Amino acid sequence: MVFSRKLRDTAGHIVRLVEQHGSDIWWTYPIEELLPESVLKQAGSSASAQEFVPGRDVLDIWFDSGTSWVHVLEDAQQRADVYMEGKDQLGGWFQSSLLTSVACRNKAPYRNVVVHGFTLSEKGEKMSKSAGNVVDPDVVINGGKDKVKEPAYGADVLRWWVAESNVFTEVMIGPTVLNSAREDINKVTEAYKNYEFGKVIRLLEALVTRDLSSFYFSIIKDRLYCEEERDPKRRSCQTALAEALDIVVRSFAPILPHLAEEVFQYLPYKKEGDSVFRTGWFVPNSVWKKPGLVEAVEATCSMRDLFLGAIPGKNTAEYELSVVIEPGLLFEILEEESYQVIVQKTTKERCPRCRKYTAESALAPCPRCLEVIAGKWSQ
Ligand SMILES: [Zn+2]
C-alpha cells in the first residue's frame, strides 16, 4: 500500500510537471524536483533523494499505443474484434498490445489481427517524400490548394478505395468473381467476416450495377411509372425496392458510413432505430427465397436475349415478341431450346401516356392506360 501510494504520488507529481513545463523536465530537472514532497519527506535528506535515479532507457516507443486497449475497451474483460495494421507492426503494436494485455489481464486484447499491405504509388513504387509520390489522405479527403487539380473527395471515397483494394494480396477480377457475386447476398456478410473488403465491394458493385440498375430497374419502370398508384403490381415492386435499398445501405455502411447514414436519415418510411448503425446487421428474409425463382428469371432472361439478338440496334418497344411452345411443354419452358421466339414489328401505335406501342391510335391512351386513368383500384 505504501509503495503504491508513493508511486501514485510520484506519477501524479510528474504528470503535473510535464503538463506545465513539457516532457524535457525528465532530462533537465534535478531529482529533488522530480519527486513529490511526500517522497522527499520520507527520504529525509537531499543525499537520500539522490538514491532515486530517473530511468533513461527507451522501453518501447509503441508503449502508449500498445496500452490503448485500456482506454478503448469499455469493459476490462472485453476484447477487440480486430486489430488492423501494416505488416511492420507484427513486432510493434500487435506485439506491445499483446504483451501488456497478457501481463495485466492474462488475455489478448484482440480476437483477430488483420495485417494489410502497404500503399504503393500509381507506378507500383514505394511512396516516399524524397520521390515526391506520396498521396496525402488529408488532400484526398479535403482537397489540395488547387481544388481543380486536387478536388475534395470526402472520407467515404477514400474508404471505398482502400476497401476496394484487396488488403492481403493482389486484386484479381475475373468470371469466377462475377459468378460468385450472383449467388447470394449472404456472401457479403461472409466476406466481411473474413475481412475481405475488396470482395464486399465487388459483390455490391455487381448487385447495384448489374442486378439492380441494368436489370431490375429497367424491367419495373413501366409498372412503377404507369400502373395505378394502388395497383398490387406497383406496390409489390415498391416493397422490393425498399427491401433492396435497406440491404444495399446497410451492407455498405461499414465502408461508406457517412453516405449510409445520410441515406438512412432520408428514408421516407418508418425505420427501426435512429441511426443505420443501431439497426444491427441485416438478415435476408427467407420469404424472398422461393425455390425455382432464380431459374425462372434466368429462363426469362435468355428469352429476352433471343429477342434482343433478333433486332440488334432497334427500338425494342416497336417490336412484338411471341413465344411458341409445343402443347403440353409449358413446364419445359425453363429449359433452353424447348421454345421458339418470333419477333415482328408491331402494328399498334405509340401510347401517349406510357409510350408503349400498345395503342390503337397515337392520339388516345392504350387500353391499360385508360383503365388506370379511370381508377380501377381506387373504386
Ligand atoms: Zn399506355
Residues 313 and 354 both lie in one domain: yes
Residue 301 C-alpha to ligand 1 middle, in angstroms?
24
Q: Are residues 190 and 249 in the same domain?
A: yes
| Residues 8 and 79 reside in one and the same domain | no
- In the reported structure, the alpha carbon of residue 371 is separated from the centroid of ligand 1 by a whole-number distance in angstroms of 9
How many whole angstroms from 219 Cα to the centroid of ligand 1? 16
The answer to whether residue 40 is domain-embedded is: yes
Instruction: Give the residue ranges of DSSP H helices in the chain.
Output: 2-21, 25-28, 31-34, 37-43, 46-49, 63-66, 69-72, 93-105, 137-142, 155-164, 175-183, 186-193, 197-205, 217-226, 232-252, 257-265, 293-310, 367-374
Q: Compute the distance from residue 364 Cα to the ligand 1 centre, in Å.
A: 9
Q: Kindly give the distance from the C-alpha atom of residue 373 to the centroid of ligand 1, in angstroms, as a whole number.
A: 10
Q: Is residue 157 part of a domain?
A: no
Domain that holds residue 302: 293-378
Report how far ligand 1's centroid is from the alpha carbon of 224 (Å).
13
Q: Comparing C-alpha atoms, which of 72, 114, 79 is closest to residue 94?
A: 114
Ligand 1 centroid, distance to 307 Cα (angstroms): 22
Q: Note the pLDDT tens digit of each residue in 37-52.
A: 888 888 777 667 788 8
Ligand 1: distance of its center to the CA of 370 in Å? Answer: 7
- How many angstroms separate the alpha carbon of residue 369 from the centre of ligand 1? 4
CA 347 to ligand 1 center in whole angstroms: 15
Q: Following DSSP, what letter does each residue of 332-378 receive, concatenated?
A: GGGSTTSEEEEEEE--SBPPTTT--S-BSSTTS--HHHHHHHHTGGG
Rounded to whole angstroms, the Cα distance separating 259 from 310 reads 42
- Residue-wise pLDDT for 288-310, tens only, equals 767 777 777 788 888 888 888 88
Please tell me the distance from the alpha carbon of residue 18 to that of residue 25, in angstroms, as a whole number: 7
Question: By three-state DSSP, how is residue 325 classified?
Answer: strand
The CATH number of the domain holding residue 259 is 1.10.730.10
ipTM of the complex model: 0.98
Q: Does the residue 130 lie in any domain?
A: no
- For the stretch 136-162, pLDDT in tens is 888 888 988 988 888 888 888 888 887
Per-residue pLDDT of the chain (379 residues; tens, 9 = 90+): 445 777 888 889 999 999 999 999 999 999 889 999 888 888 777 667 788 888 888 777 778 889 999 989 888 789 999 998 888 888 889 999 999 999 989 999 999 998 877 777 667 777 777 777 777 888 888 988 988 888 888 888 888 887 877 555 433 333 333 333 345 567 888 899 888 888 899 889 888 888 888 888 888 899 999 999 989 989 988 888 888 888 889 999 999 999 999 999 999 887 778 899 998 887 777 777 677 777 777 888 888 888 888 898 888 889 988 888 776 656 565 666 677 888 999 999 999 999 999 999 999 999 999 999 998 766 6
In what helix (H) or strand (E) does residue 84 lie, and over which residues does it extend?
strand 80-86
Instruction: Read off φ and ψ for residue 340, nearest 5 degrees.
Output: -125, 145
Q: How many domains does the chain have?
A: 4
- What pLDDT score does 179 carry? 37
Q: Is 41 among the domain residues?
A: yes
CA atoms lying within 13 Å on the CB side of residue 303: 20
- Where helices occur in 69-174 by DSSP H, the ranges are 69-72, 93-105, 137-142, 155-164
Q: Helix or strand or coil: residue 223?
A: helix
Cα distance between residue 90 and residue 77, in whole Å: 23
Same domain for 297 and 280: no
**329/248 same-domain check:** no
For residue 227, the CA-to-ligand 1 centroid distance in Å is 9
CA of 363 to the centre of ligand 1 (A): 11
Distances (CA, A) of 240 to 47, 86, 244, 259: 83, 41, 6, 21
101 C-alpha to ligand 1 centroid (Å): 70
> What separation in Å is there between the alpha carbon of 255 and the centre of ligand 1?
43
Say if residue 225 is in the same domain as residue 260: yes
End-to-end CA distance of the chain: 85
Q: How far is the CA of 314 from the centre of ligand 1 (A)?
A: 21
For residues 291-321, one letter each, b for 16 or more C-beta atoms within 10 angstroms of the residue's C-beta and e for the rest, the string is eeeeeeeebeeebeebbeeeeeeeeeeebeb
